[in-house]
Amino acid sequence: MSLRPVGIIGSGKYVPDRVLTNQELEHMVETNDEWIVSRTGIRERRIVSPEQASSDLAYEASLRALEMAGISAEQLDLIVVATITPDMAFPSTACILQNKLSAKKAAAYDLSAACSGFIYGLANASNFIATGMYQYALVVGAECLSKITDYTDRNTCILFGDGAGAVVIGVVPEGRGFKSFELGADGSGGELLKVAGGGSRCPSSAQSIEAKQHFIYMAGSEVFKFAVRIMGNAAEEALRKADMQKSDIDLLVPHQANIRIVQSALNRLELSEDKCMINLHKYGNVSAASIPIALAEAVEQGRLNEGDCLVMVGFGGGLTWGASVVIW
């Protein structure tokens, strides 16, 4: 079977209006703006209103992606939502989004790979189109991390924000589109970054709430060491699979977790900062939404031209990682 070339034909993002600055965090926990910026590069993050959920953010981002792609929601065959903050355990956030969009013929499901989720979702959905099973798919990263963040924990509350990014993928001209994917996982590191409460291992209870098991736990230094190593590894492996070199990269869109991790990846790939999309100073770490938000902003800013080599790379809880090489 010959596979059809598949690529991104539309992108969009949405972030909530509420801005949480480092200065505000100074009044919530023992921290300060200089400390946060020097260690993470983050200056502010967006926070949802109490009534907003991940599907609401996903909906707004999806409308923008569909408009850019020039297709209607009714033409979608598949909706994949990457999230670790679903509206609820079930139905899936993707099914809730399908209903909001009136995408009546689309299959829909959620995907959980934390901050790597968007790349996992792209790899997954693109195969349906490459084989001819589907024509159009919507892949979304959407998170309301503020709802699982402990704002008394100064190690984590400075990092996370809310938002959504979406892309429409479909058949593209020969020579364009996705050239490779590199996905991986190391479940032995699962305990380093987790939300323990609310699942079948530790059901919700008064005790689990009291123990703060419904908030993000992160062993920061261990996750940092893993990220520094894996970001470069994953990007290099994706390039190797695509038969391309570091020097071919026109734009790197990394997961926006920490400026020092991004800079480490740039050094490994021998890239200058002007070849990297960085917006973590505005949004912080938005998990599965980080890469698609950054991608949508890069498109808005005209930083991608036809024929450019785009590399997306991320890491996350699981532990997981993912990278992709795309010819725009």
Residues with catalytic roles: 115, 255, 285
Joined tokens for residue 36: 């946060």
* Cis ω for the linkage preceding 319 (within 30 of 0): yes
Q: Which two tokens stand for residue 87?
A: 């509206």
Q: What are phi and psi of 276, to 5 degrees?
A: -130, 135
The secondary structure of the chain in percent helix, strand, coil, rounded to multiples of 5, reads 40, 25, 35
Q: How far is CA 145 from CA 82, 255, 297, in A?
A: 13, 15, 20
Identify whether the C-beta of residue 113 lies closer than 8 Å to the C-beta of residue 172. Answer: no
Identity (one letter) of the amino acid at 266?
L
Query: Which positions ≥6 away from 5 have C-beta within 8 Å?
Result: 130, 171, 172, 173, 174, 175, 176, 177
Sign of CA dihedral 88, 89, 91, 96: positive
Annotate 181-214 with DSSP letters as a single string.
EEEEE-GGGGGGEE--TTSSSS---HHHHHTTTT
